[in-house]
Amino acid sequence: MLFHGAGAQHSWGLAIVSCTNEFEEGTEIGLAELWTILEITAYTAGYESTQKHPWDPLYGITYSGTRAQQWRTVAAGPDIPIGTRVFIPELSGMPNGGIFIVEDRGGAISNAHLDIYMDNLNDALSWGRQHLEVLFWLSGDINEIAALIDRDRRQRWRDREALARLFP
């Protein structure tokens, strides 16, 4: 699989592209695009995923303090900043166009893993464990985040066969 970015092709699973966004006149925020492949699972607000019951005041509330919302909320590893936008091309036909917001964390979620919030437990279980191409729009030290993703991928992916196939 090849990734394209800034005129370069990389077969090793990461592409880094720089861009800037101007939000209001005179204010620029530099973002970098990071393409990679992550292990993606799904979770719900239920006890099986969060150890919270519906009567718990924090039921359905994410690490960032927002209410988890299907087709918006994802949980990411500790080094992926809260508020980061994530595009999953495989899900571009969904109501969110494949764009999610990192709003949550999880004890079993590494930097090489995303957990998509779903309202329905059967949907989350049916999703299973997938390895999909992902685009992060990030500020900060993109090379450091890329290295942390790669480290966690090699140390924590459960599917060692997929790891060997995707990252020989």
Domain ranges for the chain:
3-166
Higher pLDDT, 5 or 45: 45
User: Given this model, what pLDDT does residue 160 score?
Assistant: 86
User: DSSP secondary-structure letter at 158?
Assistant: S
Higher pLDDT, 17 or 30: 30
- CB 1 within 8 Å of CB 11: yes
Q: Does 29 have pLDDT greater than 80?
A: no
Per-residue pLDDT at 133: 96
Residue 142, pLDDT > 80, answer: yes
pLDDT at 20: 46
Q: What is the CB-side half-sphere exposure of residue 155 using CA atoms within 13 A?
A: 10
pLDDT on residue 87: 98
Of the chain, the percentage scoring pLDDT greater than 70 comes to 83
Q: What is the mean pLDDT of residues 85-105?
A: 97
Contacts of 141 (CB under 8 A, 6+ apart): none
Give bridge partners of residue 47 from the DSSP assignment. Answer: none
Mean pLDDT confidence for 127-137: 96
114 forms bridges with which residues in the sheet?
40
CATH of 3-166, one of 2.40.40, 2.60.40, 1.10.357, 2.60.120: 2.40.40
**Which two tokens mark 165?**
């196939």
